[in-house]
Structure 1
Amino acid sequence: MNIDGWDAMISFGFNAAISVRVSNELGAGNARAAKFSVVVVSITTVVIGVVCTAVVLGTKDFFPYLFTNDEAVAKETTRLSILLALTVLLNGLQPVLSGKNSTSHCVRNTS
């Protein structure tokens, strides 16, 4: 869960950034630039997810010992590392594409 949470922080940062970028581009009437921004951040997120997945799979015998000293827990965690790797990959893209975050607000132009 800690590793998945660390990876999710990257996605939440991209979520905030892309929300602002798309809002600014759409507000300026640049729909093509907004679409391009979403494509770029999606590809970037997938690449980071693939790297994190490779790290999880490459260190599956070692990373459990960062969180536990219990041999049985470490062995089970190693066995479940494929599920963790898949989760890291798929959960990286979902927050970026959701378009919702705590910093995105609808602001009305009253001038």
Structure 2
Amino acid sequence: MIVERPCPRCGRVIVESVPRPPGRPKTWCSVTCRRAASGERLAAASGVIPTTYVPVEISLEEHAQAVLGSPAACRRVLRALAEMDVSGRLDEAKWSSVAGELERLRRPAGRSMWRR
């Protein structure tokens, strides 16, 4: 899957594949934009020029794909859900669909649908 989003400084398209490689996602389209943005932030911090924030919209699907592409992120989500289950927070109405999906995924002891 290919994800395109604009550079926050110049607006040029940044193309990335999902799942993306390890490390930070690309923020800038080029080294030139990264350096210029750094200089602008330093100037803005000293009061020389104002900054303009360009919001970058990332869809829920892109977030989900990023999590699914990382075993560490998946582990964090599963651990957080387990903690919510133990604390009873999954019993709240807004989490009922999540609790239902977790029940659907549970298998009898010794049987796993992922490991063979």
**Does the TM-score normalized on the shorter chain lie above 0.5?**
no
Name the TM-score, length of structure 1 as normaliser. Answer: 0.27
Which of 1 and 2 has greater Rg? 2
TM-score normalised by L of structure 2: 0.26
Whose relative contact order is higher, 1 or 2, with alpha carbons under 8 Å and at least 6 apart?
A: 1
